[in-house]
Structures are given as structure tokens and as C-alpha cells.
Amino acid sequence: MNQLTIELPPNISIEEAQLLLAVKLFETGKLSLGQAAKLAGYSKRTFIELLGKMEVPVINYPAEELEQEINL
């Protein structure tokens, strides 16, 4: 596993930085839901709830593909 060391501003906690990094890596498809939840230090269920609060979709299904599926 890779390790990253950074200095955070005093107003950002380690936990917040881990959560934000995990959310972004999940959102961009770099991590699975389980991997992102683990990185953030939460259960999958709690991580899904946090994603909802941050308005990040858990399932990213493009509208065009959804429309094609409906029309089959």
C-alpha cells in the first residue's frame, strides 16, 4: 500500500481529509465503494449515507444508458 504524508491546515482534521479523499477517489472510479469506505474509516452503510449527504451518487448510471435499457 502506498503512503502519503501531508500537512493540513489547522481547520481541517485528519478524519475530514480522509473522508474527502475517499469520496473523490470513489466518485472518479479509482476506488470501489468498499475500498473508499475503508479508507475513510467507515462502514459501507455509513459511507453511503455520507455520500448522500454530499450529493455524490452511489450508483453512477449514465442517462443515455438508462434510457436504452428502458427502451429494450
12-71 residue pLDDT tens: 999 999 999 999 999 999 999 999 999 999 999 999 999 999 999 898 777 787 777 787
pLDDT score at 30 = 95
The band of 5, judged by pLDDT with boundaries at 50, 70 and 90, is very high
Q: Is 12 within 8 Å of 5 (Cβ atoms)?
A: no
pLDDT of res. 59 = 84
- The ranges assigned to domains in the chain are 14-70
pLDDT of residue 11 exceeding 90: yes
Q: What is the pTM assigned to this prediction? A: 0.80
Which amino acid is it at 62? P
Report the C-alpha gap between 4 and 8 in whole angstroms. Answer: 12
**Chain center to CA of 19:** 8
Q: Which CATH class is domain 14-70?
A: mainly alpha
